[in-house]
Amino acid sequence: MGNVNLVLIWVQKTDEDEIKKAFQKTFAVRKLNPQAKELADTYFFETLVRIHRAGEGAPYTGLKPAGRDLGSAIPAADKALENGKIEPLLKLLTDGMQSGVREQFKQVTAKKKFGRDDVSAGQEYVKSYVEFIHYVERIYEAAKNPAEGHYAEPQTASHKE
């Protein structure tokens, strides 16, 4: 569309000039031929995503392919913003939280009864206890505090930029 403002919203104010320069270079090069257009577009999007992620304190890990599995939460959040209906998102989050807490609780309570001389079983209980407490604490902190920066991506999960 030729309008850099459409992407400037994704970067910090201090990074706007760098994006504008990359945009101008991209527009000049993409006119040369189809291969130059593809290379210029890739350069621009890599630059944009790298700077966007740096502004959130996240490392640049490359462009992600379109159409990949984003899990349940991101599409539900996007849909809520699109249609203005928050209830399905809240249900998804609440169900997921309850399921996770119940499973963690089940694991720790299953290990709670152990003989006082069975150190190995006691250590298994403490390990489950600590995981349960940290799990609950993370949920509470995530619910209580605004999300700043970028979510730390697990190696096996992916999400939308």
| Predicted pLDDT at 83 | 97
The pLDDT of residue 64: 87
- What mean pLDDT comes out for the span 105-109? 96
Angle at 127 between CA 134 and CA 102, to 5 degrees: 55
Phi-psi region of 62 (alpha: psi -120 to 50; beta: other; left: phi over 0): left
Per residue in 6-35, pLDDT (tens digit) is 999 999 999 999 999 999 999 999 999 999
18 found inside a domain:
yes
Is 128 contained in some domain? yes
Question: 95 and 36 in one domain?
Answer: no
State CA 94 to chain mean position distance.
18
Who wins on pLDDT, 82 or 160? 82
Do residues 84 and 129 both lie within one domain?
yes
Question: What is the pLDDT, as a whole number, of residue 160?
Answer: 43
pLDDT band at 158 (very low <50, low <70, confident <90, very high): very low
pLDDT of residue 149: 59
Would you put residue 2 in left (φ > 0), alpha (ψ -120 to 50) or beta? left
pLDDT of 154 reads: 53
What's the Cα-to-Cα distance from 8 to each of 19, 48, 110, rounded to whole Å? 7, 9, 52
Provide the pLDDT for residue 156.
Answer: 44
Task: State the residue range of the domain holding 43.
Answer: 5-55
Give the tens place of pLDDT for each residue, 48-97. Answer: 999 999 998 889 998 988 888 888 999 999 999 999 999 999 999 999 99
Please enumerate in sequence order all residues whose Cβ is within 8 A of that of 161, keeping only pairs 6 or more positions apart, or say none: 49, 52, 53, 64
How many domains does the structure of the chain reveal? 2
Same domain as 77, residue 123: yes
Instruction: Tell whether 153 is covered by a domain.
Output: no
9 in a structural domain: yes
Residue pLDDT, tens place only, 111-157: 999 998 999 999 999 999 999 999 999 999 988 887 765 555 554 44
Q: Is residue 83 part of a domain?
A: yes
Asked if residue 77 and residue 27 are part of one domain, the reply reads no
Q: What is the pLDDT of residue 2?
A: 82
Give the separation between CA 109 and CA 129, rounded to whole angstroms.
8
Q: How far apart are CA 148 and CA 161, in angstroms?
A: 15
